[in-house]
Structures are given as C-alpha cells and as structure tokens.
Structure 1
Amino acid sequence: MSARFDVANRKVLYTGGAGGLGTETTLALLAAGAEVHVLDFDAEKIATLESRAPEGSIHRLHLHRIDLLDKPSLAGLLERLAADRPIDVVINNAASYPSKPFEDYSDAELAAVHGVNVEAAQLCTRAALPGMRAQNWGRILNVTSITLSGQWENLVPYVQSKGALLGLTRAWAREFGKWGVTVNAISPGAFPTDAEKIHPDPEGYNAMVLDRQAVKRRGNPMDIAAAVMFLASEEAGFITGQSLAVNGGWVME
C-alpha cells in the first residue's frame, strides 16, 4: 500500500497518531517516506508506537506528548513545528469519546470534548495553513464518525463535535482550494479499538456490527490507513470537500 500513493518527503502533523486507529497509519506514512509528527497524550501508546517504528525510519518519527486542551502549549508546539519548513499534511484525528445521557454532562465536560475534537483541529489547521498557501499545496484530513448517522445515543458531545468537523471540512475546502489545499473527511465505522470498551456486552455488540455491515468482517486500522494514504497523496489532488465513509457498508451515502 505504501508504494501506491506519493507522500514521500511530506511533513505530516497527526493528532492521536499513537491511538488505536492512528498507529498503523503512522507506520504506513513512515514506510512511504513521510516525516510524521505525532501529537498524543497517552505515554504508553506513544512508547508502543516508537517501539514498532522500523529502525530505518525512526529518524522521521517525531513524538510529542501533549494535552490538546492546553492551548498555550499546543500553540507553542505548533509554532515551532511550522517554523523550519511547511507542514504538508494535517490529520485531525484525536478525539475524546465519553458516553452518558446528555443531561448528565457538565458544561465543563461538554467544553472539554469540543476542545479536543474541534478546537485543537482548528489550531492545527491554522498553524499549517500559511505554509500550505505559500507552497500552493496541502492536505487537511478530518476524522469524523459513523455516529453522525444518528444511530447511537449517549454520545451527544462526541457526535456534535464530529458534525462540526464535517462542517469545517466543507467550509475549509471552499476557502482553501484556491491555494491548492484540499480538505476531506474520513468517517470510520465501528472499529474494535479502546473506544468499544464503553459497551457492556462486547460479544453482542460485535455481532450487531457484523449484522449491519455489508462486508462481514470487522474493520481494522489498515482500512483507515489506506484511506488516509490516498487522500493525503498527490494523486488525490482533485478531491476536496468530501467525506469518505470507511464502514464496511453499514451506512451508505
């Protein structure tokens, strides 16, 4: 897969790049010759990602442990990352995924989900845009969610935030296209990651997923990596403002 799409020498900023859906994409980008800056908060996952990076590409992997709610620290890091050479690709993937009835969320909890899932994406995009504009090339990918189809409850702030990212995808695509910058969304389906641990009956949930999908296997992180590699590549330069659903045919748009 890494040889199909041209991302060699591209500088990639990837939030949540050490997570369940992020690690394989990070490794695929490295294998294709990209320089990847991963922003993540989980020290254990960061260490695991570092241990899995091939020795020949470890010099192109830069791991930044940061709380995306710490805006001053995030802004400072982004300023430094954009200073030496332009950021070519931004992947806004990090997400907070709490689950409980809407009325049980405090204002602070609602704000925190929006802060990680939306405001951090805005800061990352804003930091990268001047360099993209100057070189007349850029790729921005926003990771949304199958939950936007309205089939889940007790996820209001998460679904709200993913809806905001979809809106930003379309608005940014319209505004940035004149500078050679494409903006697209990737909408994952139900993948067996840590997020599924919120379900009280894992076996029942797994059976339900397979029943609803057209493709009768669970998704795996390489399915997301393939979508990211394509949309981040030179070959996808005429695709913008779109949402690519990677869900095994659960929801068809």
Structure 2
Amino acid sequence: MIVIGEKIRIGLVLFPELTQLDLTGPAEVFGRMPGAEIHLLWKTLDPVSSDRGPRILPTTTFAACPELDVICVPGGPGQIALMEDEITLQFLRTAAAHCKLVTSVCTGSLILAAAGLLAGYRATCHWSSIDQLSLLGVEPVHERVVRDRNRITGAGVTSGIDFALTVVADLVGHQVAQEIQLQMEYDPAPPYQAGSPRTAPPALTEAIRQKNASFIEQRRSATKRAAEHLAKTLE
C-alpha cells in the first residue's frame, strides 16, 4: 500500500472512438485520491474523439510518459482497431512492466489481452463480449470488478466507478475510497433493474444482442486475429 500523499502516477489510455465514461468515470475517482498525478495518454497531443462525439485532450504522449504506478485501458468501439495497433500494444507492454497495477474497464481488457498482459489471469469485460477473453488465454469472470494478482478489470462502462474505488482502496486504503465515494455521492439507485443480463428481462437482453450482433462479430474477428498474432509471438 502506498503512503497517503505520496505521488501516484496513473495513466489512462485515450484512443479514437473510446467510450468516454470508461475513462472519465475512473478519472473522476482517481483525481480525488491524495497524491494522484493523472496522465491522459495517446500517441499525440491532438484532441481524441470519443464514440459519442465529445473530444478529449491528451495530456501526455506515449513517448513522453513517465514511469507509471497504474495503467488503465478503457474500452469502446475503437478497441477493435487498437487490438492490431502495435505501437499501442508495445507501449502497454513497456508501461505495464513497471506498474503496481495493470487495469482496464469494459472492452479495454481485450486490448490488454491482445498485448499479452492478461494471459493466465482471471478478468472481466462488457457482458456482450466477455466470452472473447477466452480466445486470448484469459479466464472470463462475470463480475463487476475482478482482481487477479496485480490485474484489476472492470466490466461494462458504469462499472468503471466501482473499479476505480477498488483501485483506490488497494493503493491507499478503504477509508480513502469510502471518503471519495461519499464525496461523489455514488449511491446507485437505477430506475430499472435492466443493467445486466442477470436482471434485465430476457426479451430485452435478446433484443440488444440482435441489435449489436454485426458489431460484436466485427469485434470477435479482431479478437481472433489478435489471438493468432499473440500465439505467433509466443512461439
């Protein structure tokens, strides 16, 4: 555990077509942690467009990134391209080698897995794509936050806040994590019990599966290619 107030360098990876809440949810939590130094990372300092339109400014490039304590990879539609982006994958491998925690939110776990950073670990992902982790040598776990040694992964989008509070507790203790949760008034009371296939009406879940089937198949194809590439690099 890190001494409270000691500098904690956290890098969150930006990329085109990411889901902004995958990044901004954890960033809001991490930014309230004593000693946190947040780096929003991309190849350049140009604005990065999220999948719903808003653009986010990187603060640090991959090349200028300092040694990190935590690396976090969000998800989103742009994850498909990133799984075959060797510049990003190599950056993650290099950064992770020095990190206390290697982490992700949503389909960011597929990116970590494509980089070879989750092989042999338990991890989670968005419910629609969690089965794809097994193609990359990862044990899929249907939980909101999963920890395996120094890997911590969060499930889909909104779980990023739960995930980040878990990371804070790991780094500086449960007391600080609870203080941040209270400051943020993070007290979920959703209007519908439809936030997971475990609770949503089966017909609703099936409708969403059908609606997203074409996109999920694109993701699966990218995951299979990443798995083939990963296997070759390990030969």
Q: TM-score, normalised by structure 2?
A: 0.45
